Amino acid sequence: MRTLTSTLAAAQKATTYKGLVKIVLTLTGSATQTYTASRILDIKYDESDKQSAEVMLDNSDGVVSAIDFRGYKGVISGGATTSGGDEYSPKPPLWVVGQQNLSWGGRLASLLSLAGVMNFLDSEGANAVYAPDDTDTDTVKTIMTAIAEATLSCYSHAHAFTITFTNEDSLIDSFQPKDFFRIAKNESRLSAMKRLLSYTQMVMRVDKDGTIQVFGPTTTGSTYTDNSEYELGAGNYAFFSLSHRKRIVIPHYVQVDSHPATGDSYTGYYEDTDTASLVAIDSTIGQREYLELRVDDNAQATAIATARMLHYQLQAEKGSANVPMNFGAEVYDYVNCIDSRDGDTNRVGNIGYIRSHYSHTGKTLYS
C-alpha cells in the first residue's frame, strides 16, 4: 500500500467526494505536459505482474495531436479534494508506446497507450545462454540483482533498473541454484526473475518511483494492509460489489529432491491441505509437481517446496470487488472484504490484479 496522507485516506472513505486525476508526461529535451480532468476523458490503468494503461485525451483544439508522445514517461495520479486541498497519489511510472488520434461525431481525441517496467523486462531477451556450473555460489538475490541491474552477462545490453529487497525470507539470500538454473537465449528478464522468485516466498512489484520492489508479502493473520478492509456501513471503506470464489490449487502437492548427480538424498514436500481433502475424495483433480535441485538439506528442500506452493496458492483467485478508488492500493496488498449479509462473511487474500478506471463522467472504480 502506497502511503497516503491522513486527509486523503479519510476523503476516499467518504460517501461522496470530488475525485481528481492527472497525468504528467516528460521526455528529456522536451517540455513537460501536465493534463488534468479538464482534458482527460478516460483512463484505464491495469496492474498485475505487469502494468499498462490507456489514456484518452480531449484533442478538440489539436494541441495533443501536435505532440509526438512516443517515448514520454507518464506518471498517472489519482486523488481527491480534501480538507487540506487537492491531494494526489502517483502510481508507478509508465512509458508511451503508442499514440492514436481519433475522431467521431463532434469530438477529436488522442489515445495514449503506455507500458511499465515489468512490460519492458518481459520483452527484453537474453543475448546468450546463461549456464553456471555446479561450483557457482550466486544466490537467488545475487542473480536477481544482476538481471535487474543489467550486470549479468546475457543481459548486459539492457537498461539497468534499481531493485530493492525487504522482509526477506530464509531462501532469497541463501539458496544457490547453481547449474540447475539456466537462462535460454532470448528468454526474457521477467521470465528469469519469476523463475528465481518461485524458489522463495518473495514477490515483486514496481514502486511509485520506478524501482523494482522484492518483498515477502503478508498472506495470513488478521492484520491487514492499511486502508484495505472493505465493509458496508458508515465510517467503513465501502464497496460497490463483491464476488467470492472457491478454487482448487493446482498443483496441490510439491516435492523437492536432491538430484542424483549431487550424491545426496535430501527431500521435502508441501501440500495444500484444503485441496488435498478434495483429492482424497476424487483423485482425478490431484496434480503434483516434482523438482530435483541442489539443496543443502531436508529443511531447505521443504522450504523451497513450501515457497513454490505459496505462489500457486496466490494464483488461485478467491474473489473480486468493485470499490471506490483506493489511491494507495498495490498488488499483493493483504485485504479483507466483509459482507455481513452473506453467510461467507469474510474474503481474505492478496490483491493479484487491479484495474483503476477514471472517466470524465466522474465515475472512479478500482477492482
The pairing of strands 253-258 and 288-293 is: parallel
157 shares its domain with 262: no
Cell 502511503 belongs to which residue? 3
Higher pLDDT, 244 or 210: 210
98 shares its domain with 222: yes
The pairing of strands 40-47 and 203-206 is: unpaired
Q: Give the mean pLDDT of 345-354.
A: 84
Q: Give the mean pLDDT of 163-178.
A: 97
Alpha helix (H) residue ranges in the chain: 6-11, 117-123, 140-148, 189-197, 273-279, 298-315
Residue 185 forms part of a structural domain = yes
CA atoms within 13 A on the CB side of 162: 6
Residue 105 forms part of a structural domain = yes
Reference 187, options 146, 238, 126; nearest CA is 126
Residue 236 forms part of a structural domain = no
Residue 191 forms part of a structural domain = yes
Residue 285 forms part of a structural domain = yes
293 shares its domain with 204: no
Cell for 105?
A: 461525431
Residue 237 forms part of a structural domain = no
Higher pLDDT, 339 or 95: 95
- Asked if pLDDT for residue 71 goes beyond 80, the answer is yes
- Asked if pLDDT for residue 366 goes beyond 50, the answer is no
* DSSP letter (8 states) at residue 225: P
- Asked if pLDDT for residue 367 goes beyond 60, the answer is no
State the pLDDT confidence band at 116, using cuts at 50, 70 and 90: very high
- Asked if pLDDT for residue 229 goes beyond 70, the answer is yes
Phi and psi based region of residue 263 (left: phi greater than 0; alpha: psi -120 to 50; beta: remaining): left
Residue 120 forms part of a structural domain = yes
124 shares its domain with 184: yes
Residue-by-residue DSSP string for 131-187: ---TT----HHHHHHHHHTT-SGGGTTSPP--EEEES--SSTTT---GGG--B-TT-
pLDDT of residue 317: 77
Q: Give the mean pLDDT of 204-233.
A: 87
46 shares its domain with 97: yes
Looking at 315, 335, 356, the residue that finishes a domain is 315
- Asked if pLDDT for residue 363 goes beyond 60, the answer is no
108 shares its domain with 9: yes
Min mean pLDDT across 12-26, 166-180, 261-275 is at: 12-26
Report pLDDT digits (tens) over 242-267. 777 888 999 999 999 999 988 899 99
308 shares its domain with 222: no
pLDDT of residue 344: 57
> Residues near 12 by Cβ (< 8 Å), separated by ≥ 6?
4, 80, 227, 237, 324, 325, 326, 327
- Asked if pLDDT for residue 113 goes beyond 80, the answer is yes
Q: Give the mean pLDDT of 288-312.
A: 97
Quote the domain boundaries for residue 266: 253-315
Looking at 290, 315, 340, the residue that finishes a domain is 315
Cα separation of 58 and 42, whole Å? Answer: 9
Q: Which amino acid is at 9?
A: A
Report pLDDT digits (tens) over 183-207. 999 999 999 999 999 999 999 999 9
Query: Distances in Å between the alpha carbon of 25 and those of 35, 91, 104, 365?
Result: 8, 13, 25, 23
Looking at 315, 330, 354, the residue that finishes a domain is 315
Cα separation of 57 and 78, whole Å? Answer: 16
Rg (CA), the chain: 23
Report pLDDT digits (tens) over 313-348. 999 877 788 888 888 999 999 988 887 776 656 778
Average pLDDT over the chain, rounded to whole? 91
Specify the length of the chain in residues: 367
- Asked if pLDDT for residue 227 goes beyond 80, the answer is no
- Asked if pLDDT for residue 286 goes beyond 70, the answer is yes
The pairing of strands 94-104 and 354-359 is: unpaired
Q: Which amino acid is at 115?
A: A
Report pLDDT digits (tens) over 134-165. 999 999 999 999 999 999 999 999 999 999 99
pLDDT of residue 336: 85
φ, ψ of residue 53 in degrees (nearest 5): -155, 155
- Structural domain count of the chain: 2
pLDDT of residue 365: 46
265 shares its domain with 181: no
pLDDT of residue 63: 95
